[in-house]
Amino acid sequence: MRPDRSEAYPLHRREVVQSLLAERGDMLVVAGLGAPAWDVTAAGDTPLNFPLWGAMGGAVPLGLGLALAQPSRRVLVITGDGEMLMGIGSLATVALQAPGNLAIVVLDNERYGETGMQATHNAAETDLAAVAAASGIPVSGVIRNETELVAALPQIHDGKGPVFFNIKIRAETLPLVLPPKDGELLGDRFRRALSESDRQS
C-alpha cells in the first residue's frame, strides 16, 4: 500500500465534477454514495441528478438500467473507488449490454472517504481502468491531470459508450454539500423532470 501518494495528486474532486457537469445539457446523472454525491450536489442540485445515500455497489447497475430505459439520453455515473470496487462485477454486465449512451467516471482518491480515509485496494496495485477494459468496456482510461481531463471530456459527454474513466483525485476532506436524503422524493422528482423534458423535446 502507498497510502500517502494520493495526497499529492493534482486534480481536485469538486473542480473535476464541475468540469464534468458544466455543460451537461439534458444528461442524466447518477452519483454513488458519499463524497461523489456531495460533489455532484455542489455542482448544482437538480432533479435530473440521482444521488445515492446507500446501496453501495449499486451506482453502475442503476445507471445501466437507466441507460437501457432511456437510450436517447446520455447517462453519466459518477462514483467513488470504494463504491466501484463493491460493485466491480457490474462492469462485465455493462460490457455485455454495451449501451452507447452510458459513461462511467470513478473519482479515485484511493480512500474510503466517509469512514475515516482508510486506503482502498487502489492504493496498492488495483487498476480500475484495466479492470473495466478487461471486463469488455471498449473505451477505458486513466485521467491524472487537467490536460488529460480536458482531452477526455468529449468522450465522456458524447463518445460512443460504454465509456469508463478512472480519475485520480487528491485525497482531501471537503465541506459537505448534501442533496435531499428522502429517496422517494429523489425518485419522484427525477421521473417527473424526465417526463417533462421528454414532452418539451
Partner 1 sequence: MTVSADKSWPDEIFQTILRHDIRQVAYVPDAGHSRLIDRCLENADLVTVPLTTEEEGVALLAGAWLGGDRGLLLMQSSGVGNCINMFSLTRVCRLPLLILVTMRGESGEFNPWQVPMGQNTAALLTTAGIEPSVVDDSQDLARTVDRVAQSVFEKRTAAAVLISQRILGVKSFEE
Q: Contacting partner 1 (CB under 8 A), which of 1, 22, 96, 178?
A: 96
Q: Does 114 bind partner 1 (CB under 8 A)?
A: no
CB of 31 to partner 1, least distance (A): 13
Footprint (CB under 8 A) of partner 1, residues 122-181: none
Measured between alpha carbons, how far is 121 from 111 in angstroms, rounded to an integer? 9
Q: Render the burial of 2-17: b for 16+ CB within 10 Å, e for the rest.
A: eeeebeebebebbebb
Report the b/e string of 105-118 with b at 16+ CB within 10 A: bbbbbbbbbeeebe
User: What are the residues whose beta carbons fall under 8 Å from the beta carbon of 69, sequence distance 6 or more?
Assistant: none
Q: How many residues bind partner 1 (CB under 8 A)?
A: 37
186 in contact with partner 1 (CB under 8 A): yes
- What secondary structure letter does DSSP report for 159? S
Taking the complex as a whole, how short is the minimal distance between the CB of residue 91 and partner 1, in angstroms? Answer: 9
Q: Considering beta carbons, is residue 40 or 59 the nearer one to partner 1? A: 59
Shortest Cβ distance from residue 186 to partner 1 (Å)? 7
Cα gap 64→58, rounded to integer Å: 10
Judged by beta carbon, residue 45 or residue 146, the one nearer partner 1 is 45
E runs forming strands in 58-169:
75-80, 102-108, 111-112, 118-119, 139-143, 163-168
Site for partner 1, residues 65 to 84, rule: CB under 8 A = 65-70
One residue of 16, 43, 64, 78 binding partner 1 per CB under 8 A: 64
- The contacts found for 139-142 with CB under 8 angstroms, 24 or more apart, are 139/163, 139/164, 140/164, 140/165, 141/165, 141/166, 142/166, 142/167, 142/168
Build a one-symbol-per-residue string for 17-36: x at contacts with partner 1 by CB under 8 A, - elsewhere.
-----------x-x------
In the complex, the smallest distance separating the C-beta of residue 107 from partner 1, rounded to whole angstroms, is 19
Among positions 39-58, residues that touch partner 1 (CB under 8 A) are 50, 52-58
Residues that bind partner 1 (CB under 8 A): 28, 30, 50, 52-70, 87, 89-90, 92-93, 96-97, 183-184, 186-187, 190-191, 194-195
